[in-house]
């Protein structure tokens, strides 16, 4: 009786091990090639008395992460250039995560399709699991929620 229980346990553990190996190989084979996912840490320090945080909280959002600096290495004609992107905050509301950019006096927002695309679409592409980008206008205290549906064009051409 003990020997049959031992065989059963070994068979069960072996089956689970084979299933785990199969799933690992399957996921590896079906992963997009060269896909580098950005993983954000906790972010920088932020406080509740910052104007961007106050405006977000007044609009029903919860700031979950502070400022993030995303380094970028650019290949250009065989040379290396270095730059960075800044994410002001990560905020949540109704179980949805948003990338937050705050207004800057030196960089006014162009509220046209191409202006929004050029300034903010990079953040939606950087974190595809986000539900969109929040643009906080600190001068007038408003929050603009922006989403991008790529490949969908509803307008008649």
Sort 8 into a burial class: Cβ within 10 Å, 0-12 / 13-18 / 19+.
exposed
Please check whether residues 59 and 13 belong to one and the same domain.
Answer: no
When divided into structural domains, the chain yields a total of: 2
**Res 121: pLDDT:** 93
Please check whether residues 20 and 62 belong to one and the same domain.
Answer: no
- Over 60: is that where the pLDDT of 157 sits? no
Please check whether residues 28 and 81 belong to one and the same domain.
Answer: no
Please check whether residues 132 and 92 belong to one and the same domain.
Answer: yes
What is the extent of the structural domain holding 107?
51-146
Count CA atoms within 13 Å of residue 77 on its CB side: 0
pTM (2 d.p.): 0.70
- Over 90: is that where the pLDDT of 155 sits? no
77 torsion bin: left (phi>0), alpha (psi -120 to 50), beta (else) = left
Please check whether residues 29 and 55 belong to one and the same domain.
Answer: no
C-beta atoms surrounding 125 within 10 Å: 12
Taken as a whole, the chain contains a residue count of: 157
> For 64-84, what is each residue's pLDDT tens digit?
888 888 888 999 999 999 999
Rg (the chain; Cα; Å): 23
154 within a domain of the structure (yes/no) = no
* Cα 128 from Cα 58, distance rounded (Å): 26
66 within a domain of the structure (yes/no) = yes
Please check whether residues 25 and 64 belong to one and the same domain.
Answer: no
Please check whether residues 26 and 72 belong to one and the same domain.
Answer: no
153 within a domain of the structure (yes/no) = no
DSSP one-letter string for 57-100: HHTT-EEEE--EEEEEEEEETTEEEEEEEEE-EEEEETTEEEEE
> For 90-101, what is each residue's pLDDT tens digit?
999 999 999 999
- Over 60: is that where the pLDDT of 24 sits? yes
43 within a domain of the structure (yes/no) = no
Please check whether residues 96 and 72 belong to one and the same domain.
Answer: yes
């Amino acid at each position: 009786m003990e020997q049959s229980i031992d065989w059963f346990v070994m068979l069960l553990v072996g089956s689970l091990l084979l299933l785990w190996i199969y799933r690992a190989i399957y996921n590896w084979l079906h992963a997009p090639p060269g896909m580098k996912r950005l993983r954000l840490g906790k972010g920088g320090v932020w406080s509740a008395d910052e104007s961007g945080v106050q405006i977000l909280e007044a609009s029903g959002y919860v700031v979950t992460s502070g400022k993030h600096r995303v380094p970028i290495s650019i290949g250009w004609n065989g040379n290396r250039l270095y730059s960075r992107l800044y994410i002001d905050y990560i905020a949540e509301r109704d179980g949805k995560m948003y990338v937050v950019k705050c207004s800057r006096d030196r960089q006014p927002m162009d509220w046209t399709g191409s202006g929004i695309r050029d300034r903010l679409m990079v953040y939606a592409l950087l974190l595809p699991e986000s539900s969109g980008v929040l643009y906080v206008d600190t001068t007038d205290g408003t929050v603009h929620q922006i989403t991008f549906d790529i490949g969908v064009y509803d307008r008649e051409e």
